Amino acid sequence: MSDLKHSSISTTKPLTIALVAGETSGDTLGADLLQELKCVYPNAKFVGIGGPKMIAEGMESWYPMERLSVMGFFEVLKRLRELLRLRKNLIERLIAAQPDIFIGIDAPDFNFTVERKLKEQGITTAHYVGPSVWAWREKRLAKIKQAVNGVLVLFPFEPKYYHRYEIPVAFVGHPLAQQVPELPNKQKACISFGLAKDAQVLAILPGSRMSEISQMIEPYLLASQQVFQQHSEMHFVIPVVHEKAKKHIETTIVELGEKGQLQSQFIKHIHLLDGQAQLALEACDQALVTSGTATLECALMRRPLILAIKVHPISYWIMSKLATTKWIGLPNILANKSVVPELIQAEATPENIAAKLTELIASDLMRQEQLIAFAEQYQQLKQPSAKLAVQALQTWMQKS
């Protein structure tokens, strides 16, 4: 830490550091960053928008983070007026506060406008988690350059895109690789859930946004029921991000049970967990996951998985027209090949999901191919992320 404390920026001068995270994965990144920032700037004040993890680190969250957690073009459109009003109020409040630096964590459609407005006012701005310019709309970088003093990226293939546009960039690795255990302990995790240490477990991760959960929980449950019919010893653990998600999933289970689509014996094998996604993955033998950070977390935990996702048809049509990669799952993008099966949109039926899960459970070759790729990705992404991030942020603060 001493190399940071000898920075030309005084560590004794109280700073105001503003951050905005828009969803659960951003909250995790933000909390990790806040821990390091507090070590370097123990007197700093942290404000903005964050979730429970960032708040636990001492951040003052001005608005509930859940108000930003929207996925897909159509879904955002339905709440556009509310989001625009919130962003306008936030920008006004931040300009009045005059933070020493603003750090937007992911949520690019929301945060880049905030960053641009603040940078125009002379406030240093940084963005943590580069948007997927390598997957679609690389030309966004021309506008991004006007909004930020620097970008922190998670993957080693990303800096070259920013160099093309002369945007300051730092590869910091992925904090999740630091946070997952080097040797996941399935037996201990199973016991913590009240299961036998050698229980057969399928983890179901239907997403962190309500739009994802509402779309995917029914086909996930119906697919899992089919898996249960062949593997009656299997248990199904579902980590839920908040009470609203839990109630929705519980209601769906009850309704499908009343319709006779879920058997009572299967329902007894479903375990809803309050958060604890990492522990669920540690306990499981395989997982069923939507796209996004959860697929990477599963890979870093070295757990074989199937990816299945649906979004609103309009959102899917737009995204499919703009996409420039073959895959949406981060493990496949990092491997640059199809390691994890991806069932997208019309392919994400209960029957198809169940078939792929059954194949994954039975195929040692399929599992081993995934595990070899995941081990490589773990080593590649395991960096002192928060420390590297703070070093980059200090450099950009000095230059601005």
**Cross-strand pairs, 272:** 238
Cα 316 from Cα 303, distance rounded (Å): 28
pTM of the model: 0.73
Using alpha carbons only, give the angle 29, 146, 92 rounded to the nearest 5 degrees. Answer: 70
268 CB-near residues (< 8 Å, 6+ apart): none
Q: Where in the chain is the domain with CATH 3.40.50.2000?
A: 2-173+383-399, 179-381
pLDDT along the chain (400 residues), means of 10: 41 83 88 95 96 96 81 57 89 96 92 96 96 75 95 92 95 89 92 93 90 91 97 96 91 95 95 91 96 88 94 66 69 91 92 97 96 95 94 91
- Determine the pLDDT at residue 10: 45
CATH superfamily of domain region 179-381 = Glycogen Phosphorylase B; (3.40.50.2000)
Extract long-range pairs of 266-270: CB within 8 Å, 24+ residues apart: 266/224, 266/225, 266/228, 269/228, 269/234, 269/235, 269/236, 270/221, 270/224, 270/236, 270/238
Give, in words, the CATH class of 2-173+383-399: alpha beta
Buried b / exposed e along 292-330 (16+ C-beta atoms within 10 A):
bbbbbbbbbbbbbbbbbbbbbeebbebbeeeeeeebbbb
Whether the Cβ atoms of residue 230 and residue 265 lie closer than 8 Å to each other? no
Whether the Cβ atoms of residue 227 and residue 204 lie closer than 8 Å to each other? no
- Determine the pLDDT at residue 5: 39
Whether the Cβ atoms of residue 146 and residue 123 lie closer than 8 Å to each other? no
Q: Helices then strands (H, E): number in the chain?
A: 20, 13
The tokens of 318 are what?
Answer: 């737009």
The tokens of 66 are what?
Answer: 């859940």
Cα 114 from Cα 120, distance rounded (Å): 10
**358 burial via Cβ count (<10 Å: 0-12, 13-18, 19+):** middle
DSSP 8-state secondary structure symbol assigned to residue 283: H
